Amino acid sequence: MKQILSVLIGALIVSGCIDSSPTETKTDRTGERVDSLMALMTVAEKVGQLNLYAGGWEFTGPVPEDTGNQKKYDMIKSGGVGAMLNVLTADGTREAQKLAVENSRLGIPLLIGYDVIHGYQTMLPIPLGQAASWDAEVARSGAQVAAREASASGVNWTFAPMIDIVRDARWGRMMESPGEDPYLASYFSKAWVDGFQGDDLSNPTSIAACAKHFAAYGFAEAGRDYNTVDISMQTLYNVVLPPFKTASEAGVASFMNSFNEIGGVPANGSSLLQRTLLKGDWDYQGFVVSDWGSIGEMITHGYAADTLEAGYKAIVAGSDMDMEARVYENSLETLISTGQLNLEILDDAVRRVLTIKFDLGLFDDPYKYCDAEREKKELGSSENLAIAREAGRKSIVLLKNDQNLLPLKKKGQKIAVIGSLASSKDVPLGSWRAQAVTDGAVSLLEGIQNAVDNKSAVKFSQGYTLTSGNREFVRELTFVEGDYSNFDQAIALAKRSDVVVLALGEDCFQSGEGRSQTDIGLKGDQLALMYKLLEVNKNIVVTLMNGRSLAISELDENIPAILEVWHLGSEAGNAIADVLFGDYNPSGKLPVSFPRNVGQCPIYYNHKNGGRPTTNPNDAGMVFWSHYTDAPNSPLYPFGYGLSYTTFEYSDLAISSTEMNDTGELSASIRVKNTGSVAGQETVQMYIRDYVGSVTRPVKELKGFEKITLNPGEERVVKFTISNETLSYYRADLSYGSEPGKFAVMIGGNSQKTLMTDFRLVN
């Protein structure tokens, strides 16, 4: 009987049950289908749509005895679960859908979510690395690869993009983010959403995206994950929120809120963020999911006394779906039946979730994403790997290249490859690696061997020792200290080689969720080895593998050539070799500042001037200005920095007028010339400074960039438009607009090295 009812309802819903008029839009039709379904739902079934359960059992095998899992089965069958996460494979997800569709009274299909952060099986560079490309195509095509693979395996919803602004490298989740700048993060926010979702969510190769973590999670005090956040409204609106607003405008299907509090209110309970701003001012129509267990954590925060209060506060504040806290399951029905919660609030949340299910086409075919045949072809396909390689090489940043040590020659050179990270086929896959195959990456060593004419000219020695074994959930993970057993071999190898490629950095599981660190230097014996190698061979190229900005002053002082290669994904070794040997001229620019040492954190280029900045030359040597007594204020490598195998000269900064009004525009232009001997790409960056505001303004803010390719000797004039929008910001009363006065425009190849001129905004 149940089955017959669900089939009938399915047909009713699919047909729309109301005749559609020719002017009716797809959105109208979906609205009608949602309404007709909701008219049939009990309160319990409605609450069920807001419960997100984790999988963690084998669907294709027998039902485990474990009562927890049995309960999940029963809940799904009874329509008590609206979405699952971590249910894997085309067959496994099909089984999950079957449980819901064929057993529950209304047969409503499940959302199947998963953290597809930088790839599903084929790994793209970590998001921080992708952001170093300053190239939307890298993000878009990478997210498309991830969506194609994940969707073939039954996943229809990813918990990405993560678009938290990060200023503190101690926070391990820097690797997931697009970095420290709101403009660049917004640019990537749109590219990732477009890549995951495509033009039409119902396309079986696209998946619903989720903008997270809303909001300010990246501002955890002292960079310690899950710690308290205390942030001004100015910073929230002008720095943290822009990439989220962009995601909303790009039509992202869902938002995930965050573990932290804002102004004393945990994000789950924040009406300001979720109701007033997101669903009010931004008119956002998707749904908001909590982070794992975070609705329940409102009790631990000391913001709710019990489950009932936590459930009430979260749903009223606009948190639509409960990820694994089981608070909604245990509170909402009671809250409704006792009249404490208005049914309209519940209905609004359910409507949002069901709308996305309709948009995905799940009611038309709940199994469309569970395609074992496509899964076989899609996962790790050569086409996907080629995209990963291209993304990899575009994400690499050349930090230093004295005497043009790079690029290396493919023949006639004895190359020593040194460091455990160089032979690792696992570390390049990065943290948040979804279904990547362990040890499935092309190692740096393999990449170099693939590239050279004669493999025997390449010799390897591990040098330092990296912790091995299962590292994913180990708390204290680091490089082994004081184990010099492989030093002699590495030193001897360096001595008889022409050049050393030394891989240094972090294990991939040193960054990621819960991986905050107070020391962001190179751990274990890495530096000790570096100094030993320098004694016998000065021609050292360091490839730096890491998930955050590291404090690497020792490298900068001693090593002639440094390549930032992040955790670069499945094709890491090949992509790095492309750059090492000059098949690809590096074009990446840092999306985060690299501090000189951890004591400078948080460090970011778009800071305020303060009352006692360090710019007055007469103050040199004096104490009473804003500085450290033991290190400069400036970063080692600034935001936007990155070299090339060629050089670029900037000249002739010009503006079309020295005055504009708030309805007008002006243009700023600069001449860029390739002064080297090879073709190269340069990212020309424009920064603006608003000298005086009704609240203080940053010393500079990125407001435009363009990536250009120039042949040797070629020059180009690059033009940026400055409009009222470019100069607008959220003021003290949170109104948005510009203010008349003097502005600077600065254009150059990184945030520190720019040419500058002024103009005035007049009324």
What are the catalytic residues? 291
Q: Kindly report whether the peptide bond that precedes residue 301 is cis, defined as omega within 30 degrees of 0.
A: no
In terms of C-beta density within 10 A (0-12 exposed, 13-18 middle, 19 or more buried), how is residue 214 classed? buried
Q: What are phi and psi of 704, to 5 degrees?
A: 180, 150
Q: Which of residues 334-363 bind ligand BGC (CB under 6 A)?
A: none
CB of 155 vs ligand BGC, minimal distance in Å: 12
Kindly report the number of other CB atoms within 10 A of residue 471's CB atom.
15
Compare residues 24 and 513 and give the one whose CB is closer to ligand BGC: 513
Compare residues 115 and 426 and give the one whose CB is closer to ligand BGC: 115
297 binds ligand BGC (CB under 6 A): no
How many of the chain's residues bind ligand BGC (CB under 6 A)? 7
Compare residues 56 and 521 and give the one whose CB is closer to ligand BGC: 56
Task: Output the residue with the shortest Cβ distance to ligand BGC.
Answer: 159
CB of 514 vs ligand BGC, minimal distance in Å: 8
Rounded-to-integer distance, Cα 164 and Cα 180, Å: 9
> What is the residue type of 409?
K
Q: Which of residues 71-100 bind ligand BGC (CB under 6 A)?
A: 85
291 binds ligand BGC (CB under 6 A): yes
Rounded-to-integer distance, Cα 258 and Cα 319, Å: 11
Compare residues 176 and 739 and give the one whose CB is closer to ligand BGC: 176
Compare residues 55 and 366 and give the one whose CB is closer to ligand BGC: 55
* Structural element, H or E, at residue 670: strand 665-674
Site string for ligand BGC, 174-213 (x = CB under 6 A): --------------------------------------x-
CB of 310 vs ligand BGC, minimal distance in Å: 18
* Structural element, H or E, at residue 192: helix 182-197
3-state per-residue secondary structure call for 75-96: HHHCCCCCEEECCCCHHHHHHH
Q: Which residues is 39 bridged to in the sheet?
A: none
Q: For 542-572, b where at least 16 C-beta lie within 10 A, e where not — what string?
A: bbbbbbbbbbbeebeeebbbbbbbbbbbbbb
Compare residues 256 and 360 and give the one whose CB is closer to ligand BGC: 256
* Structural element, H or E, at residue 650: strand 648-655
DSSP string of 442-495, one letter each residue: PPHHHHHHHHSS-GGGEEEE--S-B--S--TT-SS--B-SS--TTHHHHHHHHH
Entry field: residues in the chain: 763
Compare residues 52 and 576 and give the one whose CB is closer to ligand BGC: 52
Compare residues 253 and 551 and give the one whose CB is closer to ligand BGC: 253
Nearest to 604 by CA among 235, 163, 245, 127: 235
Q: For 291-318, b where at least 16 C-beta lie within 10 A, e where not — what string?
A: bbebbbbbbebebbeebbbbbbbbbbbb
Compare residues 513 and 619 and give the one whose CB is closer to ligand BGC: 513
53 binds ligand BGC (CB under 6 A): no
Rounded-to-integer distance, Cα 289 and Cα 283, Å: 17
Q: Looking at 187, 196, 292, 648, which residue binds ligand BGC (CB under 6 A)?
A: 292
Rounded-to-integer distance, Cα 260 and Cα 225, Å: 9
Confirm if 190 and 136 have CB atoms less than 8 A apart: yes
Q: What are phi and psi of 227, to 5 degrees?
A: -80, 170
CB of 348 vs ligand BGC, minimal distance in Å: 23
Rounded-to-integer distance, Cα 603 and Cα 676, Å: 32
Give helix 2-15 / helix 26-38 axis angle, nearest 10°.
150
Rounded-to-integer distance, Cα 587 and Cα 707, Å: 9
CB of 85 vs ligand BGC, minimal distance in Å: 6
Rounded-to-integer distance, Cα 231 and Cα 602, Å: 13
CB of 53 vs ligand BGC, minimal distance in Å: 12
DSSP string of 276-291, one letter each residue: IIIIIIT---SEEEPP
Compare residues 292 and 759 and give the one whose CB is closer to ligand BGC: 292
Pair of tokens at residue 134: 């300053």
CB of 476 vs ligand BGC, minimal distance in Å: 20
What three-state secondary structure class fits 205?
Answer: coil
DSSP string of 547-603, one letter each residue: SS----HHHHHH-SEEEE--S--TTHHHHHHHHHTTSS------SS-B-SSGGG-S-
225 binds ligand BGC (CB under 6 A): no
Pair of tokens at residue 755: 């040419």
Compare residues 58 and 513 and give the one whose CB is closer to ligand BGC: 513
513 binds ligand BGC (CB under 6 A): yes
The DSSP call for residue 57 is S
59 binds ligand BGC (CB under 6 A): no
CB of 294 vs ligand BGC, minimal distance in Å: 8
Compare residues 165 and 561 and give the one whose CB is closer to ligand BGC: 165
CB of 375 vs ligand BGC, minimal distance in Å: 21
Give helix 382-395 / helix 572-580 axis angle, nearest 10°.
50
Nearest to 661 by CA among 748, 589, 724: 724
CB of 154 vs ligand BGC, minimal distance in Å: 17
Compare residues 106 and 166 and give the one whose CB is closer to ligand BGC: 166
What three-state secondary structure class fits 145?
Answer: helix
159 binds ligand BGC (CB under 6 A): yes
115 binds ligand BGC (CB under 6 A): yes
Binding site for ligand BGC (CB under 6 A): 85, 115, 159, 212, 291-292, 513
